[in-house]
Amino acid sequence: MSETFKALVLEEGKKAPVASLRQLEQAGLPDGEVLVRVSHSSLNYKDGMILKGLGRLARKYPHVPGIDLAGAVLESSDGRYRPGDAVVLTGWRVGEAHWGGYAQLARVKADWLVPLPDGLSPKQAMAVGTAGFTAMLAVQALEDHGLLAGEAEEVLVTGASGGVGSVAVALLARLGFHVAAVTGRPENQGYLEDLGARAVVPRQALSGAPGKPLLSERWAGCVDAGGGHMLAHVLAEMRYGGSVAACGLAGGATLNTTVLPFLLRGVNLLGIDSVMCGFESRVRVWQRLARLLPGSALEAMTTEIELAQLPDYADRILNGKLRGRTVVVLG
Ligand code: NDP
């Protein structure tokens, strides 16, 4: 039986897309094997860009954004999923090239879904969301390159009060690393310490070109959501053989560095991409997130909003004004 549902729809505008809340028909959904009743989605930096038309990430209008979603299967023509199954989706360019999670119904490919892991509710899964999934990928990349818990030097997290940063701080602390959180907002010091940061570093201390290609060795590893000048500075301060997991560009896409950290200190610059990640790895990452992240940490970093608030919150995430993760409630 076909039903109507509420969605946030973007239409092409002269300068930027125009968002409105609408009732849509189920028959108008894009193709896919699985129809999901979406209970929660989230706001990520990329959603902010799509909502405001930056970077031309979404090109076909009308468009339903939302790069992640959690909910329950309503209909499935794929044997892997049955009505009532709890599922979660991040990546695969959903919310960019395919209608996404800012709607009460979504029709998607079965290959894009992952069963909701035991221990996480749909709301908690979206408190993690794409940002938290990326943080886990980044931490695993550092571990795969030899980072061990309990080492003397600290592991740095940049953009620490944002979505990727908050989850990275909580995960690293839980795994026994000594975490130093970089923030441009000193008022978030208590928040970051509560998530597990041992030290809070002002962003100013790492901004600007490093001056010399190599500075004193300070960091055992780094989850970098900031990019830009800050990343160049961090590379110059990595200890011998240390790794930086580069996730984001909140501080800019230009990287002005030299080859010296790589040649003389064996530093590894690891690129993290959460969009294309195979099913087996995705399931493992979600299960590890469910095991590691305490509900209390997720609660502390989460703000809940409704669809109608998204355009305002998009401005706020792009201006670095949000703290932690923002969950969108569709129910
Ligand atoms: P948020 O906006 O939640 O967090 C970004 C944080 O970066 C801010 O909270 C702020 O933290 C800091 N920041 C803001 N402006 C600047 C600036 N000008 N210079 C340096 N730091 C700044 O975004 P997300 O956590 O969702 O995403 C962070 C980045 O990671 C984005 O670039 C996003 O596109 C990318 N990303 C990449 C993914 C991948 O697969 N590679 C997946 C998900 C996200 P504070 O105030 O504490 O300094």
Crossing angle of helices 45-52 and 310-318, rounded to 10° = 110
Please state the rounded mean pLDDT for residues 63-89. 98
- Calculate the average pLDDT of the chain: 96
Task: Using the mean position of ligand 1's atoms as its centre, give its distance from the Cα of residue 279 in Å.
Answer: 26
pLDDT score for 86: 98
257 lines ligand 1 (CB under 6 A): no
Per-residue pLDDT, averaged over 74-98, amounts to: 98
Per the CB < 8 A criterion, the answer to whether 207 and 233 are in contact is: yes
pLDDT of residue 282: 97
Is residue 1 pLDDT above 70, yes or no? no
Q: What percent of the chain has pLDDT over 90?
A: 94
> 130-141: per-residue pLDDT in tens?
999 999 999 999
Q: Are 151 and 172 in contact (CB under 8 A)?
A: no
Question: Can you give the pTM of this predicted structure?
Answer: 0.97
How far apart, in whole angstroms, are the C-alpha atoms of residue 222 and residue 207?
15
Among 156, 128, 179, residue whose Cα is nearest residue 282: 128
Q: What is the pLDDT of residues 166-203, one digit of tens each?
A: 999 999 999 999 999 999 999 999 999 999 999 999 99
Atom of ligand 1 nearest to the CA of 227: 20
Mean pLDDT, residues 289-310 taken together:
97
Write down the pLDDT at residue 210. Answer: 75
Q: Is 233 in the pocket of ligand 1 (CB under 6 A)?
A: no
**So what's the pLDDT on residue 243?**
98
Cα of 81 vs centre of ligand 1, distance in Å, is: 34
The reported pLDDT for the residue numbered 208 is: 74
What atom of ligand 1 comes closest to residue 160's alpha carbon? 47
Does residue 161 line the site of ligand 1, with CB under 6 A?
Answer: yes
Residue 231 Cα to ligand 1 middle (Å):
13
> Average pLDDT of 293-298?
94
Mean pLDDT of 16-20: 97
pLDDT for 277 beyond 80:
yes
Please report the pLDDT score of residue 152 as a whole number: 84
Ligand 1 pocket, 160 CB below 6 A? yes
Average pLDDT over residues 206-223: 90
In this predicted structure, the answer to whether residue 150 has a pLDDT above a threshold of 90 is: no
Mean pLDDT score, 309-316 = 98
Ligand 1: does its nearest atom lie under 6 Å from the Cβ of 183? yes
| Pocket lining: 274 vs ligand 1, CB cutoff 6 Å | yes
- pLDDT score for 211: 80
Q: Is the CB of 46 under 6 A from ligand 1?
A: yes
Per the model's pLDDT, the better-predicted residue between 148 and 331 turns out to be 148
Q: Which atom of ligand 1 is nearest to the CA of 163?
A: 25
- Ligand 1 centroid – CA 319 distance (Å): 10
